[in-house]
Structure 1
Amino acid sequence: MRVLLVEDNKLLAQGIVMSLAKSGIQVDHLASYNQAQIALENEDFSAIILDLSLPDGNGADLLKQWRKNGISLPIIVLTANTDFDTRLMCLDIGADDYLSKPFDVRELIARLKAIIRRQHGLDNNQFSYGALNIDFARCEVHFRDELVSLSRREYQLLLEFAQSAGRVLTRNQLEQLTYGWDEVGSNSIEVHIHHLRKKTATELIKTVRGIGYILTETV
């Protein structure tokens, strides 16, 4: 999972980047309106965290511009303004969620994961993609109607692919996910993907040479 953070407060941004990295989320940090304007032209993100008060522009204007241009990525707005009218305005112009400063980064992570689940249709405790079915409530995986027994790490990795179904996950993004795993080695990602393929189908997770991997809609 890769997220764009637009925040001019360096200390706050550093804390967010570090906390999200520990949760396996890669963050690209930008500190200005102008940088953020062009950030989505050539880059691929799962969600955006946007501060309203930027040094060279208003984050609300940026949000409106993105929505006008057809950008449908989930967006969480951050602001020091706590009044109801500001919150209502953010939601009206296209924000998916809203957090008032100061906030606990753990809440930001929880909200971020929730809006991404909704974006990918994962919010009903079920995920179906081709022959793959995941029941989040029971932590069960079925492939071609057969129950698949996965280790905790394999399950975590598969969830990451599910959240990015149909999109390439780079090796760097997957390394961010495995950050802090006790058993991580130089080939840890390949080992877990090998096990997932062996337990499902080789073609379920396709290698994109020189870039990373992608979950395919295998039948």
Structure 2
Amino acid sequence: MRAYVFEPREKRQPSLTAELENAGVEPLFVGEDFFETGLAPLTQPGNEVRAILIGESDNTHAQIRTIRKAGCANPVIVLRDFRNSQDTSAALDRGADDVIVSPIKGSEVVSRINSIVRRFHGHAAESVEVGELTAFFDGRDPIVSGARIKLSKREHSIFQHLALNSNRVISKNAIYDAVYGMSADQPFDKVIDVYICKLRKKIAAAATSGSQYIETVHGRGYKLSAPEEFDLPNPEQQGSPRARPLEARA
């Protein structure tokens, strides 16, 4: 997980970095100019999952307003030093998603980001079921046909992005940007295809049906969805409406 972090007090950056990195968050510290010149990429598909953490300053409310006026739907969390109900209410009214009061704990930050992101994508629960597959939004590896499959860090990032958008086609560029967009060291163009291939093999090996679950939609991208047999109506229920995917019944 990656996050933009605005913390104007440099002395606080090392401890905040350590806390976030221990929880699996890769922070990218930004300056004031980020709110004027750095928001445009966040309006592109796939980038809405990157959180923006804003340390307390005199410009906090203006920064939140700028983010939302730019059309960014990213999770915005304000990091405050002390409780202040009036200021918290103002931050939320201006578009912040949450406010966390010191001491900042990385695990809490991650849970709050995950909650905001999954609700943005229409998932209220901590997981979603797609056929034999259960995908979690809290960092756990997926379960396929009752067995947990182990994913690498990159595999997990790509899989979670597909799971958040399950039953929808996601372009390779959107997946790439969500996983690598903030990295200065951009990998080769086929890297997403390689990881998709690895994910398919792991899922198919664990699935009772042998299904790969990740479909290539030529010219458009990839889609995580259940095999057709999970969507077929029960033959004993003649005239019944078409069965919904397991995700819709979860």
What TM-score results when the alignment is normalised by the length of structure 1? 0.65
Change (3 A) 1:19 1:164: farther
| Structure 1 letter corresponding to 2:41 | N
- What residue number does 2:17 align with? 17
Give the structure 2 partner of residue 38 of structure 1.
Answer: 37
Alpha-carbon distance change, 97 to 202 in structure 1, aligned in 2, over 3 angstroms: closer
Write the mapping of 1:39-58 to structure 2, written as runs, cut at 5 A. 39-43=38-42, 44=47, 46=49, 47-53=51-57, 58=59
Closer, same or farther: CA 95–101 of 1 in aligned 2, 3 Å: same
Q: Which amino acid is 2:199 matched to?
A: I
1:153 equivalent in structure 2: 151
Asked whether the equivalents of residues 197 and 204 of structure 1 are also in contact (C-alpha less than 8 Å), the reply is no
Q: 1:202 to 1:125 in 2, by over 3 A?
A: closer
Please report how far the alpha carbon of residue 9 of structure 1 lies from its aligned counterpart in structure 2 after TM superposition. Answer: 2.5
Letter in 1 for 2:175: V
Count of equivalent residues: 191
- The whole-number CA distance in structure 2 between the counterparts of 1:192 and 1:22 is 27
Q: Which has the larger radius of gyration?
A: 2
The residue identity in structure 1 corresponding to 2:149 is S
Q: Aligned pair in 2 of structure 1 residues 215, 77: CA closer, same or farther (>3 Å)? A: farther
2:175 pairs with 1:168: yes
TM superposition shift of 1:117: 2.3
The higher-RCO structure (CA 8 Å, 6+ apart) is 1
Aligned residue identity for 1:17: T
Quick one: structure 1 residues 65 and 109, their matched pair in 2 at CA, closer, same or farther if it must change by over 3 Å? same
Letter matched to residue 28 of structure 1: L
Contact 2:141 2:150 in 1 (8 A): no
Equivalences for residues 90-169 of structure 1 within 5 A: 90-127=91-128, 134=134, 136=136, 141=143, 147=145, 149-153=147-151, 157=156, 158-159=159-160, 161-163=162-164, 166=170, 167-169=174-176
- 1:64-120: CA deviations, max 9, x gaps? 122123222111111224211001111111111001233333322222222222222
Out of 116-125 and 148-157, give the one that drifted further.
Answer: 148-157
Match of 1:61 in 2: 62
Deviations, residues 14-47 of structure 1 (Å, cap 9, x unaligned): 33334433444333211x2222332221353522
For residues 63 and 178 of structure 2, the distance between their equivalents in structure 1, rounded to whole angstroms, comes to 30
Instruction: State whether structure 2 residue 195 is matched by structure 1 residue 196.
Output: no
Which has the larger share of strand? Answer: 1
Q: 2:223 aligns with which of 210, 216, 219?
A: 216
SS in 2 for 1:216: strand
The equivalent of 1:4 in structure 2 is 4
Seen in structure 2, the aligned counterparts of structure 1 residues 20 and 132 have a Cα distance that, compared at 3 Å, is: farther
Overall identity of the aligned pairs, in %:
18
Rounded to whole Å, the distance in 1 between the matches of 2:70 and 2:92 is 17
The worse-fitting range, judged by mean Cα deviation, of 149-158 and 17-26 is 149-158
Aligned residues of 2:214 and 2:225 also touching (Cα < 8 A): yes
Letter in 2 for 1:193: L
Give me the whole-angstrom Cα distance separating, in 1, the residues matched to 2:60 and 2:26.
22
Any unmatched runs of 5+ in structure 2? 184-194, 206-210, 227-250
TM-score, with length taken from structure 2:
0.58
Q: Which amino acid aligns with 2:77?
A: I
Q: C-alpha separation between the residues in 1 aligned to 2:178 and 2:84? A: 42
